[in-house]
Structure 1
Amino acid sequence: MTGRDGGADLSPIGNSPVVVLVRPQLAENIGAVARAMANGGLFHLRLVAPRDGWPQERAWRSASGADRILDAATVHPDVDDAVSDLHRVFATCPRPRHIVKPILTARGGAAEIREISRRGLGVGLLFGPERAGLDNDDMARTDALIRYPLNPDFSSLNLAQAVMIMAYEWWLSAAGENGEEEIPARVLMTNETQVATKGELGNFMTHLVRELDACGFLRNMPKRPGMVRNLWHFFERGEVTQQELRTLHGVVTELALGRRLRGRDEAS
Structure 2
Amino acid sequence: MAGTNSERELIAEGPAIILVEPQLGENIGMVARAMANFGLGELRLVKPRDGWPSEKARSAAAKADHVIDGTVVYETLEEAIADLNFVYATTARQRDGFKPVRSPLTAASTLRAKFTAGEKTGILFGREKSGLTNEDVALADEIVTFPVNPAFASLNIAQAVLLMSYEWMKSGMEDASVPLFTEIDQEPATKEEVVGLFEHLEEALDARGYFHPVHKKPKMIDNLRAVISRRAYTSPEIKVMRGVVSVLDRFQRGPRDEMRVEGEGDDRD
Q: Which residue is 2:25 aligned to?
A: 27
The letter for the 1-side match of 2:117 is: R
Number of aligned residue pairs: give it: 172
Q: Distance in 2 between matches of 1:87 and 1:38?
A: 23
Residues 1-268 of structure 1: pairs in structure 2 closer than 5 A: 11-13=10-12, 15-175=13-173
Q: Distance in 2 between matches of 1:146 and 1:52?
A: 28
Q: Distance in 2 between matches of 1:168 and 1:134?
A: 22
The letter for the 1-side match of 2:116 is: R
Q: Which residue is 1:203 aligned to?
A: none
1:93–1:133 CA contact under 8 A, matched in 2: yes
Q: Distance in 2 between matches of 1:79 and 1:7?
A: 35
The letter for the 2-side match of 1:66 is: A
Identity of aligned residues (%): 44
Secondary structure of 2:30's aligned partner: helix
1:18–1:124 CA contact under 8 A, matched in 2: yes
Q: Which residue is 1:186 aligned to?
A: none
Task: Return 5+ residue gaps in structure 2 as ranges.
Answer: 178-269
1:106–1:169 CA contact under 8 A, matched in 2: yes
Judged with a 3 Å threshold, the aligned counterparts in structure 2 of structure 1 residues 41 and 133 are, in CA distance, closer, same or farther, namely same
Q: Distance in 1 between matches of 2:148 and 2:174?
A: 29
Judged with a 3 Å threshold, the aligned counterparts in structure 2 of structure 1 residues 11 and 95 are, in CA distance, closer, same or farther, namely same
Could you say what the CA RMSD is over the residues aligned between the two structures, in angstroms?
Answer: 2.0
Q: Distance in 1 between matches of 2:20 and 2:43?
A: 11
Q: Distance in 1 between matches of 2:82 and 2:145?
A: 24
Query: How far off its partner does 1:88 sit?
Result: 0.3
Query: How far off its partner does 1:96 sit?
Result: 3.4
Q: Distance in 2 between matches of 1:98 and 1:83?
A: 22
Q: Which residue is 1:247 aligned to?
A: none
1:7–1:67 CA contact under 8 A, matched in 2: no
Task: Return 5+ residue gaps in structure 1 as ranges.
Answer: 1-5, 183-268
1:93–1:134 CA contact under 8 A, matched in 2: yes
Deviations 1:122-180 (A, max 9, x none): 00000001000000110010000000011111111111000000001001100166xxx
Deviations 1:211-249 (A, max 9, x none): xxxxxxxxxxxxxxxxxxxxxxxxxxxxxxxxxxxxxxx
TM-score by length of 2: 0.61
Query: How far off its partner does 1:42 sit?
Result: 0.7
Judged with a 3 Å threshold, the aligned counterparts in structure 2 of structure 1 residues 10 and 44 are, in CA distance, closer, same or farther, namely farther
Judged with a 3 Å threshold, the aligned counterparts in structure 2 of structure 1 residues 145 and 10 are, in CA distance, closer, same or farther, namely farther
The letter for the 1-side match of 2:138 is: A
TM-score by length of 1: 0.61
Bigger radius of gyration: 1
The letter for the 2-side match of 1:21 is: L
Q: Distance in 2 between matches of 1:69 and 1:131?
A: 24
